[in-house]
Structure 1
């Protein structure tokens, strides 16, 4: 979508829980859209959220926020699926499979009834498996179904590295790939700071990464567990991660983001959704950037795919 078509930008959020509303709130502040639609199983909840967001109007760029049923999805460029059972303390994301897969199977046909060609952005957990289910249920081209994937994990990785080396996180480049979950893979072999490979940067500044690797990996993988333990849910950071994906689509930025997508031969993988660096533009996921990782990283990616395949098998895929 071109910038001049901003007046026609519309996003619908299905599921007005903490994640869905953190996203809607951040999206309104960002000024990327002119209309936000809210759909929720309990209409009063969606209507209340719409009223609250509309009261923000004097402080932000003009955006109309409306609540209703699935008819809200008509003419939306992006429909975000944030409906589902939340991860609780002691649970992994994979523990949520059966209930949330059933919600996807119910929700996606209702969306397509009013909008046959949306871009679906799936954020409900376990996001990789639910992205796979959404692709199969919708029949849409795989590139038009985007999982929020490891975009947030990647940003956590970069943020921690920026703290170690005292540089702006926007100048730190590195990726987390695979499952958005316990088997995710931090791709150390690709990390660079301002274009300088990490090991060269370490040598130049006198700060070795070797002693810090384990703690950084633990912090990235366990970040959600720590937040859930202290405040029951994560929502602000994932809301902003979703806005970043939305921006890539609506502004046709061709952004490289580690979103979840269906594997079609990359690293010998197929028929499973996981995250890799992907080019994201107005048509959704335009291409996957699959080039060699270090051997141990590729092995870990294959192991991550196996974990996800087990999850898919448990619900008949």
Structure 2
């Protein structure tokens, strides 16, 4: 089985590293337009294999999409990363043409692939990919709120001082600092609602930290994060390739679900080998319903720029 990753920057290379280390597929194609970048990252990864005990084949390519042929999954990370002080929305103009080009080139050689979109602004780029591909909507998935949910779990674990893997939490809505919606009612520690453990004030602090989680890392790093996104993509790819039918929050195209139409936005999805195999319309509080509608409208405003 083969996964192709378009874009060999920090996020793309980390996706390749984590997918290879987990042994999800036998082959990874790492493609980038920049001469030497994919080759250098692939060689560096390959030289780590003896020490770490994995042997996935990683093929570096310079803008030759024919080598991505017959991929089960194609991950799109190409595009300009966010800089300090830059919103995801400011990336629209430069990244639309990049994503359109990537999709149109990749689909020629892998018409049956599921596409995972990572490029920001993610919800808008997921819609760009859907339109450029002509594929059914279940084949185009924005990584988005999987990452935001993991960040929510991180901040909850810090506040509770409990292991992160004993905490469940979900974020829906847009993959943006003002459009994501951490769902308070779904956050649990070992099955116990966290709202019964934390004060309302402490919980609100966690929600605020979650919503600026990406911006906080961008300020610290000077560019977008890569370990968190790489891990989120890896979990999604694993779920697709191995048909795990996991419930995961992703940015997908809605046609009436949650009362929203014509926008890609983060919602709980069942993910399997066909991509999105179902959307779970969870019950939202009245306040979260309003936030979700506002989030969808904010994404539509950005979509108006494409």
Q: TM-score per shorter chain, which class?
A: over 0.9
Q: Give the Cα separation in 1 of the matches to 2:273 and 2:287.
A: 34
Q: 2:175 aligns with which of 162, 177, 180?
A: 180
1:75 Cα offset (Å): 1.5
Unaligned runs of 5+ in 2: none
SS of residue paired to 2:229: helix
| CA-based RMSD | 1.3
5 Å-filtered alignment, 1:34-53, equals 34-53=26-45
SS of residue paired to 2:201: coil
1:189 Cα offset (Å): 2.0
5 Å-filtered alignment, 1:59-74, equals 59-68=52-61, 69-74=64-69
Q: Give the Cα separation in 2 of the matches to 1:52 and 1:169.
A: 30
1:52 Cα offset (Å): 1.5
1:20 paired to 2:7: no
5 Å-filtered alignment, 1:1-317, equals 9-58=1-50, 59-68=52-61, 69-182=64-177, 183-199=179-195, 201-202=196-197, 208-233=198-223, 234-315=225-306
Q: Give the Cα separation in 1 of the matches to 2:230 and 2:300.
A: 27
Q: Give the Cα separation in 1 of the matches to 2:241 and 2:292.
A: 30
The answer on whether the counterparts of 1:31 and 1:60 sit within 8 Å (CA) in structure 2 is no
1:259 Cα offset (Å): 1.1
The answer on whether the counterparts of 2:115 and 2:139 sit within 8 Å (CA) in structure 1 is yes
Unaligned runs of 5+ in 1: 1-8, 203-207
TM-score (normalised: structure 1): 0.91
Q: Give the Cα separation in 2 of the matches to 1:36 and 1:60.
A: 17
The answer on whether the counterparts of 2:159 and 2:206 sit within 8 Å (CA) in structure 1 is no
1:77 Cα offset (Å): 0.5
TM-score (normalised: structure 2): 0.95
Moved over 6 A (4+): none
Q: Give the Cα separation in 1 of the matches to 2:145 and 2:269.
A: 11
